[in-house]
Amino acid sequence: MKLPSKRAQLALSSAAAALLCLSLPAHAAGNVERGGDVFDAQCAECHSVKANKNKKGPTLFAVIGRKAGTVPDVVYSDAMKASGIVWTPDKVEAYIANPKGVVPGGKMKYDGKLNAQENADLLAFLATLR
């Protein structure tokens, strides 16, 4: 058997390194399917993903880009209605990490602690709801 030359080995390992870099973007990329699982485990008790279907909390259908406190027929806290927030992925991430910190006087009771990957997955999933 002929062993690959040093040069061939070097070429192979730099190709592998390049592939590794491509698969590791600077920010953890969200996985929509796993984000759906995070949603089911963490949010579905109080939130639906269907338009016009509210539970204890407002529907999260089309939440990204929406102005806070504006789903019809939802009884929001005054704090949420007055918050002036427009829900971007960053805002949602900050809110679920600390609901009462981001909307003092708000009424969402959630104290889950998601790691960076779970957050990225959940946000990728929420962005598909439109």
Task: Choose one: 2-10, 20-28, 29-37, 42-50; the region binding ligand HEC (CB under 6 A).
Answer: 42-50
Note whether 30 binds ligand HEC by CB under 6 A.
Answer: no
Q: What is the DSSP string of 59-120?
A: --TT-TTPBTT-STT----HHHHHS--B--HHHHHHHHH-HHHHSTT----------HHHHH
60 near 49, Cβ under 8 Å? yes
Note whether 42 binds ligand HEC by CB under 6 A.
Answer: yes
**Which of 79, 67, 72, 75 is closest to 103 using CA atoms?**
79
Show contacts with ligand HEC in window 87-126 (CB under 6 A): 87, 92, 95-96, 103, 106-110, 112
Cα dihedral 59/35/108/80 (nearest 10): -60
With CB under 6 A as the contact rule, the residue among 50, 53, 56, 130 that binds ligand HEC is 56
Nearer to ligand HEC, 9 or 60 (CB): 60
State the number of binding residues for ligand HEC (CB under 6 A).
Answer: 28
Note whether 35 binds ligand HEC by CB under 6 A.
Answer: no
With CB under 6 A as the contact rule, the residue among 30, 36, 57, 61 that binds ligand HEC is 57
Q: Distance between CA 128 and CA 107 in Å, rounded? A: 26
Q: Which residues bind ligand HEC (CB under 6 A)?
A: 42-43, 45-47, 56-58, 60, 63, 68-69, 71, 76-77, 79-80, 87, 92, 95-96, 103, 106-110, 112
